[in-house]
Structure 1
Amino acid sequence: MVSQPIELHRLGHRAYLPVWKAMRELTDIRDETTPDQFWLVEHDPVFTQGQAGKPEHVLMPGEIPVVKTDRGGQVTYHGPGQVVLYPLLDVRRGKIGVRELVTALENSVIDVLALYGVAAWAKPDAPGVYIDTPQGEAKIASLGLRIRRGSSYHGVALNIDGDLSPFGRINPCGYAGMQVTRLADVVSLPIDHCVGDQLASALAEQLQRELQPVN
């Protein structure tokens, strides 16, 4: 176990490209003394294509930009009302396997949803987190990672109360017609909810690490 706490950086609302650039830069300069970090952010509207992404899964992007990224997975949408958590970890130092980190991310979402009385699950054949809705099974969180230089970046996105209509312009994660949902559609959320902080705390607990907010 790594004894140093994980730094929690709350970035607020940010455009996608500068945050992606900053993640790559941190990964490039990271050494054995660089602290592990969680970045919490809400992005401006953007479609991101993972390394497995296919152009035909972007149906009608319209005015929303499409960014080809270096994470795993296929296409997804980020926008306001969605909490994104990026774990920037030295996985070599922490002896964390990729599958272990994916499972920790999924379980942290499941744990947070349980706080709101929502039962959720992961699927081995389709990474992410799913819940039951009146329309059937729906995806509430997406994830995609990149491991480079023994370090992780990218992460998980949990739909809280944002506009879901842009998901109709893509085949989410490459699945045509996949149902997508948000937390506000299944529970009454307080205006001052702190789902992002709860998600960061849950992931730190999954990794058996302390969390140290820096802002």
Structure 2
Amino acid sequence: MSVLVKHLGVADYVSTYEAMRAFTKERNSATPDEIWVLEHPPVFTLGLAGDASNLHSPSNQIPLVQVDRGGEITYHGPGQIVVYLLLDLKRLGIFVKELVSRIEQAVIDTLADFGIAAERHPGAPGIYISKQSGLPVEWIGAKVAALGLKVSKSCSYHGLALNVATDLEAFGRIHPCGYEGLKTVDMQTLGIKDNIDTISQKLLEQLQKQLMSHDYK
């Protein structure tokens, strides 16, 4: 069964979140999987284990939304590629831990396509900038992509967010993923000038490649 990719443009967070939950609740074993690619207007989201105090400098312009994914607090906004993965894990034959690993690898490979070396950090889902020649030391270890999932009835939703040309000041209002002092960076700051659509297409290709060994041929 193939996956349906939907490009949703700039989409309101709350309505998209509700649509993900409704899709997952209503789907059955014959429902095709979907991948939604979009951007959100500025919003902070707080995961199930989140501590609201990690939003240490609230903004009247940026709402905070409590959601049902794993993980802590993060920021979504324009210039950030958000990919929601609405997948039947039972049909794909993979567990959540492997899905997380495959998503992370897709992001690492996408960044490598643009000449950026990145890595996982054990116990801290997401992707971080590796030490590499020509890169200012201040960005080594900075987080460039966040990841958070929810699984219901063996089906996933939520997904990942890759910072392309994002408002990094907004990240300064939070302890990203609950880690005080964790730096956040975007691809533009690292010298990547490709537009968001080009990067989005490459990320989709890498995600589908990571899922191909199961069902997406």
> Are positions 1:145 and 2:166 aligned together?
no
CA distance 1:192–1:53, shift in 2 (3 Å):
closer
CA distance 1:180–1:124, shift in 2 (3 Å):
same
> Are positions 1:111 and 2:118 aligned together?
no
Share of identical aligned residues, percent? Answer: 44
Asked whether the 8 Å contact 2:129–2:143 carries over to 1, the reply is yes
Pick which of 188-197 and 174-183 moved more: 188-197
Asked whether the 8 Å contact 1:86–1:153 carries over to 2, the reply is yes
Shift of 1:30: 0.5
**Structure 1 counterpart SS, 2:70:** coil
**Structure 2 counterpart SS, 1:117:** coil
**Structure 2 counterpart SS, 1:169:** coil
Q: 32, 47, 54: which one pairs with 1:35?
A: 32
**Structure 1 counterpart SS, 2:9:** strand
CA distance in 1, matches of 2:3, 2:191: 30
CA distance 1:159–1:192, shift in 2 (3 Å):
closer
Alignment-derived partner of residue 92 in structure 2? 94
Asked whether the 8 Å contact 1:116–1:187 carries over to 2, the reply is no
Alignment-derived partner of residue 162 in structure 1? 166
User: Any idea what the Cα deviations from partners look like across 1:77-123, whole Å, max 9, x if unmatched?
Assistant: 00000001111001111111000010011000001001101101011
CA distance in 2, matches of 1:73, 1:190: 30
Alignment-derived partner of residue 53 in structure 2? 56
User: Any idea what the Cα deviations from partners look like across 1:42-61, whole Å, max 9, x if unmatched?
Assistant: 00000000001001111112
Q: TM-score, normalised by structure 1?
A: 0.93
Quick one: which amino acid aligns to residue 75 of structure 1?
Answer: I
Alignment-derived partner of residue 41 in structure 2? 44
Q: TM-score, normalised by structure 2?
A: 0.92
CA distance in 2, matches of 1:170, 1:186: 21
Quick one: which amino acid aligns to residue 14 of structure 1?
Answer: A
Q: Structure 2 unaligned segments of length 5 or more: list them.
A: none
Asked whether the 8 Å contact 1:7–1:38 carries over to 2, the reply is yes
Pick which of 193-202 and 108-117 moved more: 193-202
Give the paired residue count.
208
> After TM superposition, what 4+ stretches of structure 1 lie above 4 angstroms from structure 2?
none
Shift of 1:192: 6.5
CA distance in 2, matches of 1:21, 1:193: 25
- Give the root-mean-square deviation of aligned CA atoms: 1.3
Alignment-derived partner of residue 9 in structure 1? 6
